[in-house]
Structure 1
Amino acid sequence: MKSLKLVLLALVVVWTSQNMAAQEMQAKKHDNLNWHVVAFVKFNPGQKDAAIKLIDDYFVKADEKAGTPHPVFAMDMATGEYDYVIGWKMAGGIQAMDWEMSPDDVKWFGAMTEIAGGPDKVQEKMKEFYSYVALWRVEIGRNMIE
């Protein structure tokens, strides 16, 4: 009987402390979140220079022409598994994930179509780029430092 009283007392203490903690807790959102998409790319041996040239000649120019967000960083890696790491700020925050094809995607594809010489040429350039890629990984995170 004594052990049952101890168990009941322990349950009351746990319930009371949880209830008090719940009453003290308040909902709070993060301030000034900056969501980013970061792509980690490993190129096939000997293909990095050709891939970077294609990025510079087509993808960067399409960003500029369309006025869409350009990368906030691009790193040529000296160590690690990946050769190239590139990151973009997610315009509109995490809600950018709600889009299957965003308005910026449409603008970028339109600009890329003009630069490449037609939609079929865009597909060729994309296929060429991915032929240089051995491994591609994309992560999403929030920048906690302003």
Structure 2
Amino acid sequence: MRSLYAALICVCVLLSYTGDAFAQEMEAKKMEGHTWHELVMVKFEAGMADSAMKIIDNHFMKAGMEMESDMPAPQIMRLRSGEWDLMMVWTMDSIEDMNWEMSPEDIKWWEQMVEQEGSEEKAIKLMRTFDDMISNSTSYLATSKQQTPSETMGDNRQQ
């Protein structure tokens, strides 16, 4: 028991010296060359994935493509393994995009949905139908490093 205490004390002393050296080497550094993304993972109710995808393709994406905006469409991936059925990835202009509760682009999209569906009531009904198909969802923030055009997986090979 005594040797355990001695070992813990040694580790603590070593960490305190390492911590001081680490703190002295720290400097503020902004992330450069990264793009921010919002990822949304969706699990549909059993048997609802195909119907939900039809709503996404024939209504939500259609409204996005018809609206007057240069907002990029999300990348949509149907997952074939794991607990989630769908992953949608939106590329943001910057992390500042997260400051909006309702962005001007969101409003444009909703206005296009209302026009496309024929009324606000019909657009709301479609949204509720879609929401009822969802069993669970979550979202994440992520960054990706911007690659230069010459970067490929084999760039680090010895020649």
1:85 aligns with one of 87, 101, 106: 87
CA gap of 1:47–1:19, structure 2 versus 1, over 3 A, is: closer
Partner of 1:7: none
Partner of 1:104: 105
Letter of the structure 1 residue corresponding to residue 82 of structure 2: G
1:28-39 mapped onto 2 (5 Å cutoff): 28-39=29-40
- Long gaps (5+) in structure 1: 1-9
1:122 CA drift (Å): 1.5
1:69 aligns with one of 54, 69, 72: 72
Sequence identity of aligned pairs in percent? 34
Decide whether the 8 Å contact of 2:33 with 2:146 is kept in 1: no
Query: TM-score, normalised to structure 2's length?
Result: 0.73
Partner of 1:126: 127
Partner of 1:4: none
Q: Deviations over 1:46-66 (max 9, x none)?
A: 111110000011110111112
Which of the two has greater helix per residue? 1
Alignment of 1:117 onto 2:145: no
What secondary structure sits across from 2:42 in the alignment? Answer: strand
Q: In 2, distance between residues paired with 1:20 and 1:103?
A: 44
Decide whether the 8 Å contact of 2:38 with 2:89 is kept in 1: yes
Q: Deviations over 1:33-90 (max 9, x none)?
A: 211111111111111111000001111011111233211x221111100111111102
Q: How many residues align?
A: 130
1:140 CA drift (Å): 1.1
- Long gaps (5+) in structure 2: 1-12, 148-159
Query: RMSD of the TM alignment (CA)?
Result: 2.2
Q: In 1, distance between residues paired with 2:21 and 2:50?
A: 60
CA gap of 1:85–1:21, structure 2 versus 1, over 3 A, is: closer
